[in-house]
Structure 1
Amino acid sequence: MARFRDRVETTRGNCLPFDWITKDGKLVLIEKGVRTVPYGFLGVLFSVYLSQLGLDAFLIGVVLALTVASSAIYTLVASVFADRLGRRRTLIFFALTDALAGALLFSSDSIWAPVAAGIIGNMTVGAGEVGPFLTLEQAILPGASDSKRRTLGFSVYNLVGYVSSSAGALLVGLPQYIGPGIGGYRPLFMAYLASGLLGTYLYSRLSTKVEKEKTPSPTIKVLSEASKPVVRKLSALFALDSFGGGFIGISILSYYFYEKYSLQLSSLGLLFAGTQIVTAISFLVAERIARQIGLIKTMVYTHIPSNLLLAIIPFVSSAPIAVGLLLSRQSLSQMDVPTRQSYLMSVVPETDRTPAAGFTNVSRSIAQTFSPSIAGYAIATLWLGSPFVIAGGLKVAYDLSLYKIFHRLKPLQEA
């Protein structure tokens, strides 16, 4: 590790080429791209696909909730056992579950196929990627990059994910050119299967440096006493944010624009590709802002305006205005993602990074488990736009609480 720091120190003034990140870090970035291309089109088409199979809004919400719940369980398992079983081995296993989920979707048009695939795989159908991949890669990246470039590393990591996801979203219009009916989705499901297999290969190329350093203790050490209060508070706050975000996950947004404005999959693909690209650009801006005002202020000052824009969307009757508001919201809403990840990895020691990332991501996943079904119920019984208002209010409450509790706890690079 000392040799790595010496090497990157001589080039720390340069961001490109990526000589501030190791081969393992580059493999993680490549796999992030490979994985999130299918997540991009699955997030847009999954709720529409379920609707075409005959499910109503409430049942679609239930299926989405089961998908998020399984991801939460996987994340919890990874948080507790991955450092003992091996991070690389654990990542390979979960890549294979994605391949299996893709095989289920490809091989059957039964209603039970997407339900089983959602439970077995790790597809992203909510507000941003969750699951064991995010947890383990979040723990690996700090050790694979220069500490002075940590926020930039997470910004690039998320940028790769959102650019790839936007490319995937563009593919949702493909089925209409292949043939009528749900059989047109099969090439996309095959691509999901292939991404899982390619991910398995890429993870197998990671070196042993990605593993946590061995400790003499034979017991499972979860978190140090010093980290527990910080991780507990952040987990509770991130859960509140994620609970709100679950009301307006990409599948819910897709369903909203599909129902209210009768946008077809090709149009929805363009819309969400645009939101992903805008979001990806915002990550690099977030890193620059964080260097000037700090991580916590960047998280809060960009998040509040985005949530106010979110709450306005259902009150407009014009599709172009609604799209404009959504794009404006996306230019701000995800700036807290790389800054949040960097902040967490900066305020806990290296030995606590996997469980800290795991528990905060588990709390996000569990909280998001309940939101889609509640959103589906609210759409069916109250108002099509009610999830936007609920989400906006919950997320503003998160922002204010985060600033009040943590604005004095600064990471070492800001102290």
Structure 2
Amino acid sequence: MARARYALRSAERFKDRATHAMKLFPAWMNRDLGLLLTGRALRSLVQGYLAILVPIYVAKLGFDALHVGYLFTASAVASAALAAAVGFLSDRFGRRNLLIVISLMSVAAGVMFAKATSFAMLAVGAALGTVGRTGPAGAGGSVGPYFPAEQALIAEHSSDAARTTVFGALAFVGVVAGAVGALMAASPHAISALFAIPLLDAYRALFWTAAAAGVAMALVTFPISEHPRETVPCEPARAAHRSEPAPADNRAGRKVLGLSRRSWWFVLRFGAINGTNGFAVGMLGPFVVYWFYRRFGASASEIAGLFFVINLAAGLPNLMVGRISRQAGTLNTIVVARAVSSAFLLATVLMPTYLMAAFMYAVRSVVGALWVPARQSYLMAMVDRSERATAAGLTNLPLQVTSLVSPPVAGFLMQEVAPGLPIALAAILQGLTAAMYYGFFRGLNPPEEQATAGGPSGEGEKRRAE
């Protein structure tokens, strides 16, 4: 009898501890999302320091700035091609499987950089690892060939009501891990002094670390569960003010490149927006840093400090985006965040001092951080669930392509016309994308907003998303 009472008390204590532990995590968290968030953290951590170390490492190996440009061009072209391929293939051969392949490619890239004896090895490594594709400040590292498969898996393991919140959490994890990675870029000198090894070997140690992180990413991804594509039906969105392809058109026999007519309707419009945005992104990139340096004489440490603060500050809106989108609507969140961030970017160019310009640019980046997870969630909600990875890859491709075209244009304008002109044009183009979102998708609501509009059931879904 005493043993039975002891066992009962032990079971009750265990239950209380388990209940307390569960309260530490949000209601939407599950094992698969935890693994996906861990994979993003590892990936963003590594990309955070590689984006800084690779150009310096290449220079220390004796290559000039032209070779650095070739290296990052190879990375960008490979990233664009792989993103489209991963999107198309992962809906057919498994999204988890493609994430594992991408992780193993990063292992090969880390090994090739660590053992590089020629520029050809560096170029192949940069292409395999898509080095430097970290996305804009505050975006949480949401760029790269893994992105279509990861985005589709996040949506698959999230409820409709929690989807935007989960994408915000994903961006937050990426932002924080990327900021830590950027700090790790300062470690080669400490490693060299601590272990009395040449500085170049200290750089190589971090490339070996990147390879080990790739193995860890593959191991973390392997246990993720994945539903068969055909068992997850599409939930059609409500079109309040305009027509869209009817759900009846979603027949497998009418698919083109793996997408139904209805999904193509959204993909083509998202592609047009992303192509416009990509041209603007290419005009920003490293040119913002160069503009701060040329316009105000800002030092490297001042600019590095600014971007570190921006990345950390962007974590707050990433955590708030789910609540904001439930109150204002996902599409409204995208449009307003895009328009306001574009206005602050344009104001940055007009500021007379470094501190004022840095403040305007920081506000722009923090406000703009809202639209990234909201946009990802909106696309995943509007296309057929079995086609999510393909849609993500195809909509991302125009951004990758146009962001390759615009840097030479930006360089010419900055050098020959006016230093701030490329940034001003980028602000105008990104403001245009806000108008495009509103014009294309006004009145098209994701399922969770339809449920919310329906009354009590929507309120229950809203509470579960907290």
Offset from partner CA, 1:129-181 (integer Å, 9 cap, x none): 32231111111112212221111111111111111111112222223445586
Change in Cα spacing, 1:377 to 1:63, as seen in structure 2 (3 Å) is farther
AA matched with 1:150: R
CA distance in 1, matches of 2:291, 2:212: 30
Change in Cα spacing, 1:172 to 1:310, as seen in structure 2 (3 Å) is farther
Asked if 1:160 corresponds to 2:144, the answer is: no
Note if contact 1:83-1:211 (Cα within 8 Å) is conserved in structure 2.
no
Note if contact 1:61-1:376 (Cα within 8 Å) is conserved in structure 2.
no
Change in Cα spacing, 1:310 to 1:221, as seen in structure 2 (3 Å) is closer
Give the match for residue 321 of structure 1.
356
Asked if 1:133 corresponds to 2:151, the answer is: no
Q: 1:248 aligns with which of 259, 284, 288?
A: 284
Structure 2 segments unaligned to the other structure (5+ residues): 1-18, 193-197, 233-250, 451-466
AA matched with 1:204: F
- Whose radius of gyration is greater, 1 or 2? 2
Change in Cα spacing, 1:44 to 1:301, as seen in structure 2 (3 Å) is farther
CA distance in 2, matches of 1:321, 1:54: 37
- Per-residue deviation, 1:368: 2.0
- Per-residue deviation, 1:25: 1.5
Q: 1:188 aligns with which of 206, 211, 232?
A: 206
Asked if 1:352 corresponds to 2:387, the answer is: yes
Secondary structure, in 3 states, of the residue corresponding to 1:297? helix
Asked if 1:230 corresponds to 2:266, the answer is: yes
Secondary structure, in 3 states, of the residue corresponding to 1:222? coil
Task: Give % identity.
Answer: 27
- Per-residue deviation, 1:86: 2.1
Give the match for residue 72 of structure 1.
80
Asked if 1:144 corresponds to 2:180, the answer is: no
Change in Cα spacing, 1:181 to 1:309, as seen in structure 2 (3 Å) is farther
Offset from partner CA, 1:87-141 (integer Å, 9 cap, x none): 2221111111112222222223755454333212133254353223111111111
- Per-residue deviation, 1:210: 4.9
Asked if 1:404 corresponds to 2:439, the answer is: yes
Question: 1:3-402, aligned counterparts within 5 Å?
Answer: 17-47=25-55, 55-56=64-65, 60=68, 63-108=71-116, 111-123=119-131, 124-127=133-136, 128-178=141-191, 184-207=202-225, 209-210=226-227, 212-213=229-230, 222-249=258-285, 251-257=286-292, 261=297, 263-264=299-300, 267-316=302-351, 318-402=353-437
Note if contact 1:126-1:246 (Cα within 8 Å) is conserved in structure 2.
no
Change in Cα spacing, 1:245 to 1:73, as seen in structure 2 (3 Å) is same
Change in Cα spacing, 1:191 to 1:319, as seen in structure 2 (3 Å) is farther
CA distance in 2, matches of 1:147, 1:66: 38
Offset from partner CA, 1:342-393 (integer Å, 9 cap, x none): 1111112212212111211222222222233443444455554443222112
CA distance in 2, matches of 1:113, 1:384: 36
Note if contact 2:162-2:322 (Cα within 8 Å) is conserved in structure 1.
no
AA matched with 1:79: G
AA matched with 1:153: V
- Per-residue deviation, 1:44: 4.0
Note if contact 1:170-1:270 (Cα within 8 Å) is conserved in structure 2.
no
Note if contact 1:75-1:358 (Cα within 8 Å) is conserved in structure 2.
yes
Number of residue equivalences = 399
Structure 1 segments unaligned to the other structure (5+ residues): 1-10
CA distance in 2, matches of 1:413, 1:380: 48
AA matched with 2:375: R
| Structure 2 length-normalised TM | 0.76
Moved more, 220-229 or 233-242: 220-229
